Structure 1
């Protein structure tokens, strides 16, 4: 059966682009190419660039991402906010004028399958050369990069779990009616399906084994959560001892339970990638590519990491141990992540959801 993930992802830590050739655009300290900067419209008024995103950390994005780009390029950024599904549906329906869209890789793959995104010109995004291989073209070379990579691991309260937690298999042995798992339709849902297959000892993904294993676990699950806030509330009230969660949210658990621990399971934590793409039919494709290049710049990547907004994909970002707490950071960490094949997941998610509802969570 086809694998739906790879382990021990090789990272070719490539060197930066050599500054050679008189035709190459000079890149300024902000990480954007002056020569490639689109011109303002004929009236001199700022060009409007519409960006579709989640809306979290709005103050950070406004001050550190949007405003510097607006000043550099005489641009007015307009932001549309919503969850992945809502925003992708608006693009499907043609009910928005979005130029640039931020989506998780699971939803971005749907957009690619449906022909909703432009092919990007990698030559217009020189900062691609500075990011980890796994982030450079996660869904194909023609489409947008991952601008951040998080990881799905296991968080737990040591006071409620006997012995430490170190593997996905521990979900079956260390939790007694005090476990939470992501809903099958959540971003992390398919990752847990794969983890169940791995915990059963399968070298490659086996759907039947995975669902049999998940059914064994069902009696210990307090709730299949759809929102991280549900996890945090249950954890703080000690209704659960823990379960799979994205590392970026661990700080919220630790604020409620200072002794809480986050572990990357021995079989490998899962890569959680957020991508950035140009929407099909955009009148501002070149400007959109400039914005993607800016999002990948060392300046933005470092600021995002230090603010604990997004984990960096730039290999040039250097963090102190304190700055790296709660951040998916470094070649060693990223090189051990398990990455799902999102094309395969999207082909099977409807049948997995139906099967989950019928056999486990119905």
Structure 2
């Protein structure tokens, strides 16, 4: 009997050890879910620290990023040549993806932080698609040492004193359609009329030093004294002010233009619910606060609080954000190919 009891004890103990080993192996080998995010790669270190790594730990996720500009990354999704779950795009490019059926409709129950956003950021392209995680503005930058007369209006770009000292955005970049709207209104048309815009642009064209496609080029032109005034995103103003301490950022009296960067779930993603949880994570007050304080992005979460010093150079606060001008992006998409053709014929 003693031998039998001893044998049973050994068997039970061995069985318990096997079960424990099996359970530990299962837990330890729980492979993280891979979430593929298509983004610009801007401030990658801060994004990894503030956004990616905490999310990975919270949800047992491995985040992989695909880096590139709006056009290249959207084309990859169009071609089906990437395994992207989430894609960050400026609103103009995101609308193209929506109209081409490339994105999933989002489930708001998985993204409750949308309710904490400024109104223009909640559903810039429709309630079924992604919100804006950051906002910037297009205003005017002037070299204060060389510009003595007040610059208060978009129409001041047409002043004779700025001939051969002016840079403007190329039609093909995100702010190109905004230039069309600025020109149309300068010509007295409030509906972004194509003929009115090109009439005004042809008037200013002889005095344009360059139609820039990269903000870095514009920064260099200010630094080298080639230009003294230009429309510019506030995101890049810091680089200009470092090179030209007298540089000033001006919000024209007609208003600055909103630049909204959105995030959407790509059609066919196998991780749709997890992707929505990530969007909610990025929109949280904690994440947006950290990114804003480190000057990664201007926040769209209205619960974020910044000091005057922290807010300097940022698109921040309801007074600023809710007054920004928005273009009719659907009209822009309809007109863009014709605008580019006409631009190439008449402007370049």
TM-score normalised by the chain length of structure 1: 0.87
1:235 equivalent in structure 2: 222
C-alpha distance in structure 2 between counterparts of 1:99 and 1:164, whole Å: 48
The 2-side partners of 1:114 and 1:335 are apart by: 29
User: Could you give the per-residue CA deviations for residues 41-90 of structure 1, whole angstroms, max 9, x where no partner exists?
Assistant: 99511000000000110100111100000000000000110111111111
Write the deviation string for residues 318-361 of structure 1: whole angstroms up to 9, x where unpaired: 11111011100011111211101111111110001111111112
Aligned: 1:350 with 2:337? yes
5 Å-filtered alignment, 1:297-312, equals 297-312=284-299
Distance, in Å, in 2 between the alignment partners of 1:357 and 1:84 is 22
Q: Structure 1 unaligned segments of length 5 or more: list them.
A: 1-39
Q: Which has the higher contact order (CA 8 A, sep 6+)?
A: 1
The residue matched to 1:160 in structure 2 has which SS? coil
CA distance in 2, matches of 1:203, 1:353: 21
- Aligned counterpart in structure 2 of residue 293 of structure 1, from 272, 275, 280: 280
The match for 1:186 is: 173
Q: Does 1:144 align with 2:98?
A: no
1:3 corresponds to:
none
CA distance, structure 2, for counterparts of residue 241 and residue 232 of structure 1: 11
**In 2, Cα distance between equivalents of 1:264 and 1:201:** 20
Contact 1:158–1:164 (CA<8 Å) still a contact in 2?
A: no
Would you say the 8 A contact 2:119–2:322 is kept in 1?
Answer: no
Query: Secondary structure of the equivalent of 2:162?
Result: coil
Partner of 1:81: 67
Alignment of 1:1-362 (within 5 A): 44-173=30-159, 174-361=161-348
Match of residue 10 from structure 1: none
C-alpha separation between the residues in 1 aligned to 2:151 and 2:299? 27
Tell me by how many angstroms 1:160 deviates. 2.0
Instruction: Provide the aligned length of Structure 1 versus Structure 2.
Output: 322
| DSSP 3-state at the match of 1:323 | helix
Greater share of helix: 2
Change in Cα spacing, 1:49 to 1:160, as seen in structure 2 (3 Å) is same
Task: Tell me how far 1:204 sits from its aligned partner.
Answer: 2.5
Distance 1:219 1:160 in 2: 20
Tell me the distance in 1 between the aligned counterparts of 2:262 and 2:190. Answer: 29
Q: Distance in 2 between matches of 1:42 and 1:59?
A: 28
Unaligned runs of 5+ in 2: 1-25
**TM-score, L = length of structure 2:** 0.90
Distance between the aligned counterparts of 1:242 and 1:231, measured in 2? Answer: 10
CA separation in 2, counterparts of 1:180 and 1:299? Answer: 38
SS at match of 2:263: strand
Provide the C-alpha distance between the structure 2 equivalents of 1:82 and 1:209, rounded to a whole number of angstroms: 35
Deviations 1:290-318 (A, max 9, x none): 00001100011111111111111011011
Q: Distance in 1 between matches of 2:177 and 2:213?
A: 13
SS for the counterpart of 2:311 is coil
Cα distance in 2, alignment partners of residues 57 and 191 from structure 1: 26
Distance 1:218 1:41 in 2: 66
Runs of 4+ displaced beyond 4 Å: 40-43
Structure ID, larger Rg: 2
2: CA distance, partners of 1:244 / 1:334: 18
